[in-house]
Amino acid sequence: MSINDIQSEIIEEFSQLYDWMDRYGLIIDLGNSLPPIDEKYRTPDHLIEGCQSRVWLNAEMTPDGKIHYTADSDAIIVKGIISLLIKILNDHTPDEILSSDLHFINDIGLAEHLSPTRSNGLLAMVRQMRLYALAFKASQDNK
């Protein structure tokens, strides 16, 4: 599935929930279903700068040239948000990730329902995921 197809599915899923408490419940459920990150990545090197909560993110290039992300957070809402981002960007190529427009954030109303510190954290998560994609793209281009 393309990044836009996955975003459309998420937008559809959220559009069926009118109350933001229900939407937060869905975000929490997504966070709870996020596979745990390997303990070796729970290090300061993998912490995302700019997040009020602690968020660890790792990315690896698969043999077929796609990026596989793993993450965890010590805050359940934040864990759900990074889970959403992983659901959308995981196992896509660096070019697909770098050229994606993550419009779902506004389309589901997430941006307007986050505190300023969580909004900054969301931007930091997206930025770090794109930085990994940029680094992998550069390493591919140098081969």
Contact between 133 and 94 under an 8 Å Cβ cutoff? The reply is: yes
Rounded distance between C-alpha atoms, residue 89 and residue 3, angstroms: 6
Rounded distance between C-alpha atoms, residue 90 and residue 129, angstroms: 10
**What phi and psi values does residue 136 have, to the nearest 5 degrees?**
-65, -40
Lookup: tokens for 137: 């793209």
Instruction: Tell me if residue 51 is catalytic.
Output: yes
Q: Which of 51, 55, 71, 85 is catalytic?
A: 51
Contact between 114 and 105 under an 8 Å Cβ cutoff? The reply is: no
Helices (H), the chain: 3-15, 20-32, 76-89, 94-99, 104-107, 116-141
Give the active site residues. 51
